[in-house]
Amino acid sequence: MNKMKRVLPFLMAVVLVSVFLPGCAPKTEASNTHAVVFKSTGNPFGEKLMDGFEAAITEKGGTVIRRAPDLPTAEAQIQIIEQLIAQKVASITISANDYDALQPVLTNAKAADIQIVTADSSVNPASRSVHINQADTQLIGETLVEAAFDQAGGSGEIAILSATSQASNQNAWIAVMEETLKQPKYANLNLVKIAYGDDLRDKSTSETEGLIASYPNLKVIVAPTTVGIAAAAKVITDRNLIGTVKITGLGLPSEMADYITNGSCPYMFLWNPIDLGYLAGYAALALAGDTITGAAGDQFDGGKLGSYTVVNASDGGTEVILGPPFKFDAANINDWKDVY
């Protein structure tokens, strides 16, 4: 009995310490569950991004919830985020359908101690801890203008076929493109239209057909979306317009190999969506584990990708940049078409 009296305060102290010290608190299953939300279903780029995210989280022993709405709208993502808050996930990584519209629901998520990471398509700085950017926004926009210039032979009509009109990543790239086109070098390039295929194959196809019909002198369509570029290249191929209208932009090698080979898309750019999701997974783990807060200068372990540093983003928030955009052409496309 005496011995018990002596041991009891010690036992109580151990229990108290383990309950009140965050690092020692027993992890519930939910606290080790990390969610990833893409713009919409049926997008192979999104599937690869979520694959990479899942690989990172599971390699660290966590559990993953993968979600995407049927249509790429902010409203649908808000519903999903509300469900994830109720599920008490540790973090939500999202490719957002709108820059500002998710702020109220993401504020609620933060209040519930859920870490918010964006990957691919960002939300405003107040709504996120950090954005995982595929490549420097300025560089992507400039690279696409230079590709249009080159493929148009230096002059003529070009058009953009984008995703949705609210997609923050596409809009940021297009804003840079419009600025870049003002440079004297590009004075003879005429951007006649920005069309929106909403990352839906059918709409992207009909928008391409509309561009061709409305602008018979169109030389290049720049599609900064993997869904749009594949749909546009198919239209050009089916209509025997190869060489007349050239397609470039951002495409998945697996979807674009045939079109790069047949010349409808002489070359295009992208980054590795699996790595993008993987890096976002490691950022989510670092935030949830209190290793970083998402402030500029924070460093974290990116698993097999090595160490990454958070930097200031041009929108006033912070971001992590995966790497430069990669050019795919006839010489290298076969090396990549089975990878992603």
Chain residues in the site for ligand RAM (CB under 6 A)? 39, 43, 45, 95, 120-121, 163, 167, 169, 199, 225-227, 250
CA-to-CA distance for 213 and 140, rounded, in angstroms? 28
**Quick one: 62 or 69, whose CB is closer to ligand RAM?**
69
Minimum Å gap between C-beta 70 and ligand RAM is 15
Minimum Å gap between C-beta 249 and ligand RAM is 8
The residue number whose beta carbon is nearest to ligand RAM equals 45
**Quick one: 168 or 318, whose CB is closer to ligand RAM?**
168
**CA distances (Å), 95 to each of 74, 102, 318, in order?**
11, 11, 16
Residue 12: CB atoms within 10 Å:
10
| Burial (CB count <10 Å: 0-12, 13-18, 19+), residue 1 | exposed
| Burial (CB count <10 Å: 0-12, 13-18, 19+), residue 238 | exposed
Structure-token match 């059918």, residue found: 202
**Quick one: 169 or 272, whose CB is closer to ligand RAM?**
169
Please list the residues that pair with 92 across neighbouring strands. Answer: 35, 116
Task: Name the token pair of 310.
Answer: 């958070």
**Quick one: 117 or 167, whose CB is closer to ligand RAM?**
167
Residue 212: CB atoms within 10 Å:
19
Minimum Å gap between C-beta 151 and ligand RAM is 18
For 97, the 3-state DSSP assignment is coil
Minimum Å gap between C-beta 302 and ligand RAM is 19
Structure-token match 């999202």, residue found: 94
Residue 191 DSSP code: E
**Quick one: 35 or 227, whose CB is closer to ligand RAM?**
227
**Quick one: 122 or 264, whose CB is closer to ligand RAM?**
122
Minimum Å gap between C-beta 164 and ligand RAM is 8
CA-to-CA distance for 52 and 121, rounded, in angstroms? 16
Minimum Å gap between C-beta 38 and ligand RAM is 8
